A = this chain, B = another copy of it.
Amino acid sequence: MSLVVMKFGGSSLANPDKIKHVAEKIVIKKRNNNRVIAVVSAPGDTTDDLIKMAYEINCNPPLREMDMLLATGEMISVSLLAMAIYSMGERVISMTGSQAGIMANKDYTRARIKKINPKKINDQLAKDNIVIVAGFQALNPIGDITTLGRGGSDLTAVALAAALESDLCEIYSDVDGIYTTDPRVVEDAKKIDYISYDEMLEMASSGSQVLQSRSVEVAKKFNVEIHSRSTFSENEGTIITSEEKIKGKKMESFLISGISFDKSQVKFTISALNVPGIVAEIFSLFYGVGISIDMFNQSVSNKSNIISFVVNRSDMNKTQEELNKITLNCEASISCDEYVAKVSIIGVGVKSHNIVAAKMFEILRKSGIGISMISISEIRISCIINESDVVKAVEELHKGFGLSKK
């Protein structure tokens, strides 16, 4: 008898019919001789609605209270889903994060899981119960409810799969897996059968929104195999697993697994006299106010210092303010390009094949797309280009690296 963790997102639980559909999938899994733990998010738009309510009352709500509020969404899901399963004649019990033994640190709204005490879940599984766990929430050392940040239910599912040594962790959503690129942009995008943890991480951090990055990190650390698949079809989705396992499964290896892009970027450029320590100052100030820098370039000559970097568009105004502070006492000009985007190619091929970078730049050049910044990691190459070129760039790269269906 296998132990399976199934995770369902909010859009799969948005109304009573959808909840019943999810209940059926869980019951079928159980009847196929599995022990089942289901992890769920808040139904539909509940979390957004609760956040909106909070801001109507306090434009800067205390984080502890925010977590108390948001945790209710998942409690609604677990109880309703348990009721639906119960009406199908199966034994079932719902649990809050706290009841499921998920312990986190004190950081409200973005807590990290410290430990899972699986006793209560194991007891219920031993009684032949299906166990439904509220995702996204945990208990901190002082007995408060904390939440794990956006997409935190994925993390709950993977962490439970690791702690309980489950045989499989299925993450259900409204898409049927990971694609070579966004199928809404490139019609020809292909579903990927297998992808490594590292590739998935790069995909997630460079724009793909199917899985939360932290959950992939934990899956990698504890070697949890994830199956990302659709709630609304029986098709196989994408298996996220270790590179070794994939090598054994794939007949031929592909240089590149996918193309991702991110349009929520703005690029700043500072031209200043060579002021010593200005870079350290930028990083330290930005860290203090929570702005995270994505790509960073500096070219220094005797006389001048040109610094470029990219931040998320939501941080644009804050960034401008901080830069004004820094450049107040030195001669410097700041420019901001709002209309940029990042396009990335991801694949284990990057690290072993120099030709990949050359090929990427050549494809973009041939398409008449200029590159204003480049960053290269082990398995990813990202370029900053004009926002208006994104679709063309993704299409050409997708075709050029042989990812299209044909």
Contacts and interface: CB of A to CB of B under 8 A. Distances in A.
Interface string A55-73: 0111111101110110110
Interface residues of A, number: 38
B76 A69 contact: yes
A290 interface: no
A231 to B, nearest CB: 17
A28 interface: no
A80 B57 contact: yes
A36 interface: no
Interface string A125-169: 000000000000000000111000000000000000000000000
A189 interface: no
Nearest to A83: B58
Contacts of A59: 87
Contact of A50 (B20, B69, B76, B143): B76
A60 B80 CA distance: 12
Interface in A42-99: 50, 53-54, 56-62, 64-66, 68-69, 71-72, 75-76, 78-80, 82-84, 86-87, 93-94, 96, 99
Contacts of A99: 143-144
A143 B68 CA distance: 18
A183 interface: no
A64 B93 contact: yes
A340 interface: no
A104 interface: no
Interface majority SS (helix, strand, loop, mixed), chain A: helix
Interface in A99-145: 99, 120, 143-145
B76 A62 contact: no
B57 A83 contact: yes
Contacts of A53: 16, 76, 80
Contacts of A58: 83-84, 86-87
A201 interface: no
B65 A83 contact: yes
A299 B56 CA distance: 64
Contact of A54 (B71, B72, B83): B83
A394 interface: no
Nearest to A74: B72
A90 to B, nearest CB: 11
Nearest to A86: B62
A19 interface: yes
A72 B75 CA distance: 7
20 contacts: A16-B53, A16-B56, A50-B76, A57-B87, A58-B83, A58-B84, A58-B86, A58-B87, A62-B86, A65-B82, A68-B94, A68-B96, A69-B75, A69-B80, A71-B75, A72-B72, A96-B145, A99-B143, A99-B144, A120-B143
Interface of A: 16, 19-20, 50, 53-54, 56-62, 64-66, 68-69, 71-72, 75-76, 78-80, 82-84, 86-87, 93-94, 96, 99, 120, 143-145
